[in-house]
């Protein structure tokens, strides 16, 4: 029996990919931030069956087991966009904050992760990704593909449409409001430029009219199923709630119901708790 197990572990370590798959299967039920209960470190597993791992094999095995690293401050809604998806997908990850005031995002080791010197960046073993929505899609494919509806041509197309809408319609109207109402006072001690806020509130309302019409037809943006498109709105909309303009959603009952439903999810609650600025 020992011999058979030893052989099995050797084969797994040679192939590493099947090992990834084993880990991934477990990860779908994982609790975030922690190694899975009962999931042995590969070294321990090997020791248990009398296998000594070479340094290279051990390094490979460690990489396969290591949680993903998300680089960036959780005060950034581009970073917490990824947190919403990592949480929803039950992924193993840790957050590595970077200090903008020390220029850590422009330091060579971060430029190696994201050549544009921005956050977020995601590290998964030897893979480095940037652009928050690309990171979100990777995490879904790895840990919870149903959030992309990848197996269905039409449903996945609708997920893509609404992720693009978030990126190209919703967030461009929202960002200047968040910048004026939250970032400017916090970082520069200056009051919001109300003209910029008003202009962008008007843009946001036009976008919300389209959302209202869509959400009268289905429960979530892409259809009657939650997807990465909905989750991609969480971080920015949590921030909208911290501005004096949170009530802009009230004029759109279906949008409001969608948002209330989204905010009830543990993944959104996690984002909200991470984004609370220190008192």
Ligand X SMILES: N[C@@H](CCC(=O)N[C@@H](CS)C(=O)NCC(=O)O)C(=O)O
Q: Give the up-direction half-sphere exposure of residue 84: CA atoms within 13 A in the CB hemisphere.
A: 33
Among 32, 118, 169, 237, binds ligand X (CB under 6 A): 118
Least distance from C-beta 100 to ligand X, angstroms? 7
- E-only strand ranges, 125-215: 127-130
The answer to whether residue 105 forms part of the interface with ligand X (CB under 6 A) is yes
How far is residue 8's CA from residue 67's CA, in Å, rounded to a whole number?
Answer: 24
Contact string 43-82 vs ligand X (x = CB under 6 A):
---------------------------------x-x----
Q: CB-wise, 132 or 200, nearer to ligand X?
A: 132
Beta-bridge partner residues of 129: 122
Least distance from C-beta 171 to ligand X, angstroms? 9
User: With CB under 6 A, what is the number of residues at the site for ligand X?
Assistant: 10
Least distance from C-beta 138 to ligand X, angstroms? 13
Residue range at the interface with ligand X (CB under 6 A); choices 125-133, 182-190, 202-210, 252-260? 125-133
Q: Specify whether the CB–CB gap between 248 and 240 falls below 8 A.
A: yes
Phi, psi torsion values for 35, nearest 5 degrees: -65, 150
For residue 136, give the nearest of 171, 155, 163, 165 by alpha carbon: 163
For 141: left if phi > 0, alpha if psi spans -120 to 50, otherwise beta; the answer is alpha
CB count in 10 Å sphere of residue 257: 13
Q: CB-wise, 43 or 172, nearer to ligand X?
A: 172
Strands 121-124 and 127-130: antiparallel
C-beta nearest to ligand X: residue: 118
Among 43, 90, 97, 117, binds ligand X (CB under 6 A): 117
CA 206 to chain centre: 27
- Binders of ligand X among residues 129 to 148 (CB under 6 A) are 131-133
Q: CB-wise, 60 or 192, nearer to ligand X?
A: 192
Site for ligand X, rule CB under 6 A = 76, 78, 105, 117-120, 131-133
């Amino acid at each position: 029996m020992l011999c058979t197990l030893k052989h099995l572990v050797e084969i797994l370590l040679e192939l590493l990919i099947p090992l990834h798959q084993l880990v991934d299967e477990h990860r779908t039920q994982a609790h975030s931030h922690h190694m899975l209960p009962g999931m042995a470190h590969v070294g321990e597993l090997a020791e248990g069956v009398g296998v000594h791992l070479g340094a290279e094999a051990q390094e490979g095995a460690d990489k396969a087991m290591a949680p993903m690293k998300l680089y960036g401050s959780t005060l950034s809604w581009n970073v917490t966009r990824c947190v919403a998806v990592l949480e929803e997908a039950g992924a193993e990850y840790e957050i590595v904050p970077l200090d903008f005031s020390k220029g850590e995002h422009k330091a060579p080791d971060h430029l190696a992760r994201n050549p544009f010197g921005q956050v977020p960046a995601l590290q998964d073993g030897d893979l480095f990704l940037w652009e928050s929505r690309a990171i979100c899609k990777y995490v879904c494919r790895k840990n919870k593909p149903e959030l992309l509806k990848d197996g269905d041509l039409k449903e996945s197309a609708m997920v893509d449409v609404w992720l693009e809408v978030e990126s190209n319609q919703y967030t461009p109207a929202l960002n200047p409001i968040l910048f004026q109402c939250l970032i400017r006072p916090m970082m520069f001690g200056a009051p919001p430029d109300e003209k910029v806020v008003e202009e962008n509130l008007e843009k946001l309302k036009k976008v919300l009219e389209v959302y209202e019409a869509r959400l009268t037809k289905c429960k979530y943006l892409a259809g009657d199923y939650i997807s990465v498109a909905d989750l991609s709105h969480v971080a920015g909309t949590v921030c909208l709630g911290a501005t004096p303009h949170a009530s802009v959603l009230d004029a759109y009952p279906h949008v409001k119901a969608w948002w209330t439903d989204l905010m009830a999810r543990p993944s959104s609650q996690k984002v909200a708790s991470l984004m609370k600025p220190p008192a």
